[in-house]
């Protein structure tokens, strides 16, 4: 982004996903938006298709004693299911 957009044209930066999504949906400008959520807003226009370099690794770190607990395993199953849904 820094290579293509002059600093004077950047009017908002944020780390809060909800603030960024609200700004995009309000028409403030362009930004990254989750593909799954974008499907719920047909008025959004995709400017650039997904690029592999945008992907990030996701790590779930747990204490060794907690890794095999039901709640951690349930969360892992949830993440795996969501990951498969997003890839589809």
Is-above-0.85 flag for pTM? no
Buried b (16+ CB within 10 A) or exposed e, 47-85: eeeeeeeeeeeeeeeeeeeeeeeeeeeeeeeeeeeeeee
Does residue 87 carry a pLDDT above 70? no
Q: pLDDT tens digit string along 33-57?
A: 888 889 999 999 998 888 888 777 8
- Residue 88's pLDDT band (boundaries 50, 70, 90)? low
Does residue 86 carry a pLDDT above 80? no
The tokens describing 72, both together, are 């951690």
Spell out the domain ranges in the chain. Answer: 1-47, 55-88
């Amino acid at each position: 982004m820094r290579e293509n957009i002059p600093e004077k044209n950047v009017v908002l930066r944020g780390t809060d996903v909800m603030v960024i999504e609200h700004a995009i949906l309000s028409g403030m400008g362009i930004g990254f938006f989750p593909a799954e959520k974008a499907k719920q807003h047909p008025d959004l226009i995709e400017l650039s298709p997904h690029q592999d370099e945008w992907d990030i690794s996701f790590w779930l770190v747990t204490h060794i004693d907690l890794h095999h607990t039901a709640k951690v395993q349930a969360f892992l199953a949830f993440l795996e299911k969501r990951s498969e849904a997003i890839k589809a």
